[in-house]
Structure 1
C-alpha cells in the first residue's frame, strides 16, 4: 500500500510535464531563428560600401565633408557600430522597424502600404501554379508514356528552364506592344478613377501578365513533382487493395492516390515560398509592379539600410509563418502525422 502514493505522485508529475501544443512549440523554436536572421542581416548589410548620406549628397551635388558629416549625424551612422547595433536591437524589442530617411516615413508603414500588391501577385501565382500544376501532373501520371504525358513533360521542362525576366519581356512585347490586349505594367491605369467592379477588372487586367509569368516556373515544378508522386503512390499496396475491392480507377485516384501524393507538394510549397518572394522581385521590376520587391530594390539603390533591414526581417518572418502553416497542414492530409506530435 505504500507504493500507491508514489504512483499517484508520478502520474501527477507526468501530467504536469505534458508538452506544450505543437503550434506553440514551433513558434518558440522560431524565435531564436528570427533573432539570428535580424543580427546577420544587420552586420552583412554594413559590409556593403557607401551609405544613404553618400547617395543623398551625390544627388544634391554638395558632397563636401561637412555636409556628409551632418547627414551621417542626422541618420545616426556616425556612431560606433556597437551602439548602432544596440539601438537596432532596442527597436526590434519594441517591434519598431525604424525610420526611412529616404522616404521620410516609417518603415513599417511603407511595408504595409506595399504588402497588398506583393501579396496579390504571390497568392495569385501560387494558386495558379498549385492548381494547374497538380492537375497537369496527375493527368501526366495517369496517361503515362502517352502523347499527353510527353506534351506536359515538354511544357514543364520549358517552363522550368525559361528565365522569368525574359518570359516577362516576351509576354509584354506580344500581348501589350503587338496585340494591345493587356497593359504593360503597373497595377492600375494612370488617371482612371474607377470604382467597384470596374476597378477590380482594371487590376485583374494588370495582374494577368505578371501573375502568369511568375506562376509559369512554379507550375512546371509542381507538375513534374506531382507526376512523380502520383506514380509512386499508385504502386503502393493500399492502392492495389482498393482496386481489388472493386473501386474504380478514377475513384481510386481521387480518393486514395491524389491526397497521399499531395504531401510532397505541401513540403515543396513551404520550401519554395522564399524563392517565390525573390522571384517576385524580378517580376515587379519588369512590370513596374508597386510591391515590396520594387521597394527593396529602391532601398538597395539608395543605401536605405533601415528600410532594407525592415523588408528583410519582415519577409523572413513571413516565410517562417508560411512554413509553420504548411507544417500544420500535414495533419490534415495525413492524420498519422498529427498523432506523432
Structure 2
C-alpha cells in the first residue's frame, strides 16, 4: 500500500511539473512584451533591460523556468511585472475559487452516486435525457440560463457578485458549475451500479428479499467505487477549469480574473503562480482517485 501511494504521488508530481513547464513555455512563445504595459511608454531602454535581468526574462526558457520552479518549491512564487508579490496576489483570490470549486465537488461527490444508484434501481426514464442535456451544455450556457430565470425573471438571487461573495451570491455560480459535472458523474455511477447489479451475489441478495437500498449501500456501491472515484478525480480538474469560466459570468474575484489579466499582460510569473495551486489541488485529487483504483 505504501509503495502504491509513493508511485501514484510521484507520477502526479511529475505531471504537475510537466503541466507548469508547458504553461511557461507557451507563455514564452507568445508575441509581445509585457514590460511595455508594466513600465509604461516613457520607460527607457536601460529600465527595461534592468527589469528584464531582474525577472530573468533575458535568460533562455529552461533556465528561467528552472529558476522559478526552484524558488516555488521554497514557497516563493516571485513578483509580478509591476513588482507585486505573486503569493499575495494569488492568496487574495484563491479562496474564492477554492470555495466555488470545492462546493461543486462536494455536491457532485454526494449526489452523483445516489442519483446513479436510484437510476439503476428504478430504471427511471427521466434521468437519461436530463443527464444527456446537461452533459452537452457548457457551464457558461447553464450560468446564463440560471441568471435569466432566477435573477432577472424571478429576482430571487443576485445576478453578479459585488465585493466579497456571500452565500446568496454564490448559490447560482455553484449550481451552474455543478450541474454539467453532476450529470456526467451520475451517468458514470449509473453504468457502474447497473453493471454491479448483474453480479451473482447482488442478484442473490435481491432474491433473498434484502431491501434494495441496503443492497445498494452494502453490496453495490463499494464495488462500483473505483469507477466512480476515477470519474470524480477527472471531474475535480474540470471543476477548477470550469470555475474560471463561471467566475467571469458572475464577476467573482477569483483566479479566473487574475489568469485572464496575467495572460493578456504577458506576466509569466503571475500566470504560473495562479495556476500552480489550482493544478496542485487537481493533482492531489487525481492521486487519491488513482490510489482508490489501485487498491480495488
TM-score (norm 2): 0.87
Instruction: Say if 1:53 and 1:211 are closer, same or farther in 2 by CA, change over 3 A.
Output: same
Larger deviation, residues 305-314 vs 276-285:
305-314
Please give the residue correspondences for 1:107-186 in structure 2 after superposition, counting only pairs within 5 Å. Answer: 107-144=86-123, 149-186=124-161
CA drift at 1:270? 0.8
> Is residue 33 of structure 2 the alignment partner of residue 51 of structure 1?
yes
Distance 1:32 1:249 in 2: 44
**What's 2:58 paired with?**
78
CA drift at 1:247? 2.4
Larger deviation, residues 256-265 vs 83-92:
83-92
> Is residue 80 of structure 2 the alignment partner of residue 100 of structure 1?
yes
CA drift at 1:65? 5.4
Distance 2:59 2:7 in 1: 39
> Is residue 68 of structure 2 the alignment partner of residue 88 of structure 1?
yes
**Superposed CA offset, 1:255-307 (max 9, x none):** 21233223311110112221211111110111111112222112112211101
Residue 251 of structure 2: which of 288, 296, 303 is its match?
Answer: 288
CA drift at 1:208? 0.5
Instruction: Say if 1:301 and 1:326 are closer, same or farther in 2 by CA, change over 3 A.
Output: same
- 1:115·1:292 contact (CA, 8 Å) conserved in 2? yes
- 2:134·2:179 contact (CA, 8 Å) conserved in 1? yes
SS at match of 1:99: coil
Distance 2:17 2:183 in 1: 35
Distance 1:235 1:138 in 2: 13
Distance 1:79 1:252 in 2: 62
**What's 2:269 paired with?**
306
CA drift at 1:84? 2.7
**Superposed CA offset, 1:145-188 (max 9, x none):** xxxx2211121111111121122122222222332211122265
SS at match of 1:180: coil
Instruction: Say if 1:31 and 1:151 are closer, same or farther in 2 by CA, change over 3 A.
Output: closer
Q: Show structure 1 runs of 5+ residues with no match.
A: 1-18, 190-201, 332-336
How many residues matched?
Answer: 296
**Superposed CA offset, 1:173-208 (max 9, x none):** 22223322111222657xxxxxxxxxxxx7110111
CA drift at 1:110? 2.3
Instruction: Say if 1:185 and 1:61 are closer, same or farther in 2 by CA, change over 3 A.
Output: same
> Is residue 202 of structure 2 the alignment partner of residue 239 of structure 1?
yes
Distance 1:35 1:234 in 2: 41
CA drift at 1:246? 4.0
Instruction: Say if 1:329 and 1:113 are closer, same or farther in 2 by CA, change over 3 A.
Output: farther
- 2:8·2:291 contact (CA, 8 Å) conserved in 1? no
**What's 1:36 paired with?**
18
- 2:77·2:269 contact (CA, 8 Å) conserved in 1? yes
Distance 1:230 1:205 in 2: 35
Distance 2:115 2:192 in 1: 12
Distance 1:230 1:89 in 2: 43
